[in-house]
Amino acid sequence: MAVLQSLNPAVRNALRVALASALTIAATLWSGRGSTLTYGMLAAVLFVNDRQSQPGRQALQQVAGIVIGVVVALVLYPFSNGWFMLSIALLCAGLVARGLGMAGGIGLANLACWEMLTFCQCDRFDVRLLVNYIVPGLIGMAAALFATWVVWPPQPRMQVRQLDQRLSARLQAQLQGLQRWLETGGEPPLVLHTSEVLPPIQDLQQLARGPLRRWGQLALLWRQVLRQWILLEAQIRSLPPLPGTPLQQQLLDRLQWLAAADHGGVRQDWPLATPEQWLAWSRSSDVAQLQSLAIGLQLEQLRSLLRSQGLLRAALQRQSP
CA distance 195 to 73: 29
Fill in the amino acid letter for 222: W
Query: Both 183 and 300 in a single domain?
Result: yes
Lowest mean pLDDT among 4-13, 112-121, 183-192, 241-250: 4-13
Band (pLDDT 50/70/90 cuts) for residue 50 is very low
Higher pLDDT, 51 or 137: 137
Query: Both 90 and 232 in a single domain?
Result: no
CA–CA–CA angle 295, 235, 203 (5° rounding): 95
| CB of 65 closer than 8 Å to CB of 105 | yes
Region of 300 (left: φ > 0; alpha: ψ -120 to 50; beta: rest) is alpha
| CB of 104 closer than 8 Å to CB of 64 | no
Mean pLDDT across 76-92: 77
Region of 288 (left: φ > 0; alpha: ψ -120 to 50; beta: rest) is beta
| pLDDT reported for residue 213 | 86
Domain end: 113, 129, 151, which one? 151
Query: Both 142 and 162 in a single domain?
Result: no
| pLDDT reported for residue 54 | 56
Query: Both 93 and 228 in a single domain?
Result: no
Mean pLDDT across 148-160: 78
C-alpha distances in Å from residue 46, one per residue of 41, 42, 228, 271, 310: 9, 6, 36, 50, 37
Nearest to 153 by CA among 5, 11, 321: 5
Domain end: 97, 121, 151, which one? 151
Nearest to 196 by CA among 160, 170, 176: 170
Task: Give the total number of structural domains in the chain.
Answer: 2
Domain that holds residue 224: 156-319
Query: Both 121 and 47 in a single domain?
Result: yes
What proportion of the chain, given as a percentage, has pLDDT over 90?
A: 17
Query: Both 126 and 188 in a single domain?
Result: no
DSSP string, 255-299: HHHHHHHHTT---S------HHHHHHHHHHHT--HHHHHHHHHHH
Domain end: 151, 182, 208, which one? 151
What proportion of the chain, given as a percentage, has pLDDT over 70?
A: 86
Nearest to 236 by CA among 156, 296, 316: 296
What's this model's pTM, rounded to 2 decimal places? Answer: 0.64
- Please state, rounded to an integer, the average pLDDT across all residues of the chain: 81
Q: What is the pLDDT of residues 114-123, one digit of tens each?
A: 877 776 655 5
| pLDDT reported for residue 232 | 93
CA distance 240 to 193: 23
| CB of 178 closer than 8 Å to CB of 171 | no
Q: What is the pLDDT of residues 196-230, one digit of tens each?
A: 888 889 888 888 888 888 888 999 999 999 999 99
Q: What is the pLDDT of residues 165-176, one digit of tens each?
A: 999 999 999 999
